[in-house]
Amino acid sequence: MDEFFYQIQKTDLSKFLNNIIQKNELYAPIKTDAIRFEKIESPEKIYLDTNADFPLKEFFFRDREKLFSFDKNKIKVEIEKPSKTRVFFGVRRCDLNAVKHQDFIFMEKHKDPYYSAQREDAILIGYHCKTAPSKYCFCGSMDLGDHYDLMFWEDESHYFVHVGTKKGENLINSSKELFSKTNIKLNEEHKKIDFTNRLKKKDISKLQDNPDWKKGVDKCISCAACTTLCPTCYCHEIKDEVTLSDLQKGERLREWSSCQLKSFTKVAGNHVFRENREERFKHRIYHQLQYFKERYNIEMCVGCGRCITHCPTEIDFVEIINEMKEK
Amino acid sequence: MTKTIKTNNEYIPFPIKILKKKNESADTFTLRLDWQVDHDPGQFIQVSIPGIGEAPISISSYSKKYLEISIRKVGNVTNALFNLKKGDTLLVRGPYGKGYPMDNLKGNNIIFIGGGCGVAPLKGAIEYVERKRKEFGDVILFIGYRSPGDILFSHKQKIWDDNFKVHLSVDTIPSKTCYSGNVGFITQTIEKEKITNENTVVFICGPPIMMEKSIKILKSKGFNNKQIFISAERLMYCAFGLCCHCMIQGKLTCLDGPVFRYDEVINFKTD
């Protein structure tokens, strides 16, 4: 795609978003009791002061997905697809990269039709952070790329907009009168976000037995908020649910699960492999920072910091790792 | 949302008929399935009963005509499977996983060490060796069960005695039980037996404590980690590397295992 930015006046943003609403469903961060992406009818409510508490994960890798319905041994596979194109506005760089990693695991590595049906037509419009929106952000330490249809950078009186895909370009073309081409090129400087280079030690392969893990483990209450709010965690379980009026009929469901819970490794006969909290706590961090990379050569964690911001006991695993002394 | 009907994807099982059901012991039974599918000994399949759920079960046979699974009643799915009979249908998908590397072991001696229902996955490999007996050297079976009532696959006893050197032992004999075989932990038998590590590989499957003990004895007899293959048990849902429940220090039991060469997993600790 073209390296040159477009620009749009700030006062024209709502016109652009209203144009989108005409033909599509628009989702953007809204602040109520929490900040989350919701379908909106008018752009006024959009909240961009800080990142959303909930990532986009639930829209594509849904927390409860029907794999098929059954009637005794007869199986019917019906895959739901959104009837209108969904456009997501205001997605941060970390969350866009999280979508990239989920696209990789669900669409490239596996051909998951349930994820694809939700994801395929969706359009992602980014909103680039200038500085860390939370003191726990560490995206600057992670290996992030460009994964968006359009990306917005806020400036004094206007936004600079970069086109990432054909889909993004089409959106601009459908509101052509609002955008003008600039002669400024996208470069690495634009992608830098201040105060996010927090994780100093990314190779944790030799730290498995470090006693400092205890600092985090001792405060962990195994609530699973970290994995639930993580934009990249994709572990799930499968279960059957029957219709109460006819027990032969029902559905097989895929639901999010959490490695922080004992049940995650419980086998028949009630043996639990990761019985103690330390093993479970470390498993999450190692899957994010090491195991996924060993297997796929991609860092799974995107450094959004939600697992720390929303941890009820604020376990800052980044700080814990930084302070670890290697033998 | 609109709905599109699709026919197939990785999660979708298909129906298979039960050709035969055989009770092996009070809590363990074998289902012979009308399923002709290429597989390696040590691989597993996903078996499900709609409404109850799905469970990974290792293949316990080696045949081109059918596929057998031997199951212990320990959970919802396995209890429901127990209630099925000849002619009934269940849902399956697979086979999955990395089994025993039989093709690379031609000309070698093999030692099988199995405990309890851990004998089931080994049985598939043993039947492979039965079928291709000339391709392998000496074969020794060390098989242990809790009590005489727990002994599995007794109908195979004669074939195994004719083809291999078999050591079968039970841990204890409950009172009023008529039993004239060996008594004691099977690991004690291994310890006493003269075995050499020369051109020999060992397959172990059984309770963790038995596997641990066996490995210790084997190492004292000169075996190295590369000669030992173990079969890991983990909770699994998808069986194709996506759900991550079976992950052990980054390795996925459903893809990289369930059979692992011991040197690959020696650092697994408790994970």
CATH number of the domain residue B157 falls in: 3.40.50.80
Give A187's contacts (C-beta < 8 A, 6+ positions apart).
none
Whether residues B143 and B182 fall in one domain: yes
Which is nearest to A149 in space by CA: A123, A173, A174, A175?
A123
Whether B212 is covered by a domain: the verdict is yes
Q: What is the pLDDT of residue A326?
A: 73
Whether residues B76 and B137 fall in one domain: no
Q: What is the pLDDT of residue B178?
A: 86
- Choose among A105, A106, A238: nearest Cβ to B237: A238
Contact B233 A267 (CB under 8 A): yes
Contact B271 A273 (CB under 8 A): yes
Whether residues B66 and B186 fall in one domain: no
Contact A80 B3 (CB under 8 A): yes
Whether B1 is covered by a domain: the verdict is no
Whether residues B197 and B213 fall in one domain: yes
Tokens of A158: 């206007």
Mutation target vs A (from B242, B246, B252, B254; most A CBs, 10 A cutoff)? B242
Which is nearest to B164 in space by CA: B111, B233, B97?
B111
- Report whether pLDDT(B223) > 70: yes
Q: What is the pLDDT of residue A269?
A: 80
Q: What is the pLDDT of residue A191?
A: 93
Q: Are strands B182-183 and B165-170 parallel, antiparallel or unpaired?
A: parallel
Instruction: Tell me which of B95, B112, B142 is where a domain ends.
Output: B95
Instruction: Tell me which of B95, B117, B135 is where a domain ends.
Output: B95
Whether B2 is covered by a domain: the verdict is no
Q: Which residues of B touch A279 (CB under 8 A)?
A: 270-271
Q: What is the pLDDT of residue A2?
A: 77
Give the structural domain span for B239.
102-268
| DSSP codes of every residue in chain B | -EEEE----TT--EEEEEEEEEE-SSSEEEEEES------TT-EEEEEETTTEEEEEEB----SS-EEEEEE--SHHHHHHHT--TT-EEEEEEEESB---GGGGTT-EEEEEEEGGGHHHHHHHHHHHHHTGGGS--EEEEEEESSGGG---GGGHHHHHHHSEEEEEES---TT----SEES-HHHHHHHS----TTEEEEEES-HHHHHHHHHHHHHTT--GGGEEEE-----SSSSSSS-TTEETTEEHHHH-BEEEHHHHGGGTT-
Report which DSSP code applies to A324.
Answer: P
Query: Residues 94 to 113 of A: which have CB under 8 A from any B CB?
Result: 105-106, 109-113
CB of A259 less than 8 A from some CB of B? yes
Whether residues B115 and B51 fall in one domain: no
- Report whether pLDDT(B3) > 80: no
Whether residues B165 and B56 fall in one domain: no
Whether residues B90 and B129 fall in one domain: no
Contact B250 A117 (CB under 8 A): no
Q: What is the pLDDT of residue B271?
A: 54
What count of other Cβ atoms lies within 10 Å of the Cβ of residue A154? 14
Domain count of the fold of chain B: 2
- Alpha carbon dihedral A135, A140, A144, A148, in 10-degree steps, equals 60
Q: Are strands A86-91 and A25-31 parallel, antiparallel or unpaired?
A: parallel
Whether B181 is covered by a domain: the verdict is yes
Amino acid A141 reads S
Contact B2 A80 (CB under 8 A): yes
Q: What is the pLDDT of residue B179?
A: 87
What count of other Cβ atoms lies within 10 Å of the Cβ of residue A105? 21
Q: What is the pLDDT of residue B269?
A: 61
Q: Which SS3 state, helix, strand or coil, does residue A83 take? A: coil
Q: Determine what percent of chain B is predicted with pLDDT higher than 90.
A: 85
Mutation target vs A (from B5, B6, B146; most A CBs, 10 A cutoff)? B6
> Per residue in A213-259, pLDDT tens?
999 899 999 999 999 999 999 999 999 999 999 989 999 999 999 99
Tokens of B226: 């590369």
- Choose among B7, B74, B241: nearest Cβ to A77: B7
- Report whether pLDDT(B239) > 80: yes
Nearest CA-CA distance, residue B96 and chain A, Å: 15
Interface of chain B against chain A, CB under 8 Å? 1-13, 15, 48, 50-55, 72, 74-75, 78, 89-91, 233-235, 237-238, 240-245, 247-250, 270-271
Whether B136 is covered by a domain: the verdict is yes
Nearest CA-CA distance, residue B18 and chain A, Å: 14
Is this complex scored with an ipTM above 0.85? Answer: yes
Q: What is the pLDDT of residue A1?
A: 66
Instruction: Tell me which of B95, B116, B145 is where a domain ends.
Output: B95
Contact A77 B5 (CB under 8 A): yes
- Choose among A79, A248, A264: nearest Cβ to B6: A79
Contact B4 A236 (CB under 8 A): no
Rounded distance, CA B259 to CA B253, Å? Answer: 8
- Choose among A73, A112, A279: nearest Cβ to B50: A73
CB of A79 less than 8 A from some CB of B? yes
Contact B234 A82 (CB under 8 A): no
Nearest CA-CA distance, residue B58 and chain A, Å: 14
Tokens of A72: 């005794």
Contact A291 B250 (CB under 8 A): yes
Whether B6 is covered by a domain: the verdict is no
- Chains A & B: contacts with CB separation below 8 Å: 135
Whether residues B85 and B110 fall in one domain: no
- Locate tokens 């939370």: which residue? A134
Where residue B4 falls among pLDDT bands split at 50, 70, 90? confident
Whether residues B111 and B236 fall in one domain: yes
Q: Judging by beta carbons within 10 Å of its beta carbon (0-12, 13-18, 19+), is residue B87 exposed, middle or buried?
A: exposed
Rounded distance, CA B193 to CA B189, Å? Answer: 6
Amino acid B245 reads H
- Report whether pLDDT(B267) > 80: no
Contact A268 B6 (CB under 8 A): no
Rounded distance, CA B265 to CA B253, Å? Answer: 11
Regions of chain A where pLDDT drops below 50: none
> Exposure string (b/e) for B61-82, b if CB count within 10 Å is 16 or more?
bbeeeebbbbbbbbbebbebbb
Mutation target vs B (from A65, A67, A71, A75; most B CBs, 10 A cutoff)? A75
Give A11's contacts (C-beta < 8 A, 6+ positions apart).
none
- The chain B residue lying nearest A248, using CA atoms, is B51
- Report whether pLDDT(B217) > 80: yes
Q: Which residues of A touch B264 (CB under 8 A)?
A: none
Where residue B233 falls among pLDDT bands split at 50, 70, 90? confident
- The chain B residue lying nearest A67, using CA atoms, is B11
CATH number of the domain residue B49 falls in: 2.40.30.10
Q: What is the pLDDT of residue A325?
A: 85
- Report whether pLDDT(B121) > 70: yes
Whether B7 is covered by a domain: the verdict is no
- Locate tokens 């980044």: which residue? A318
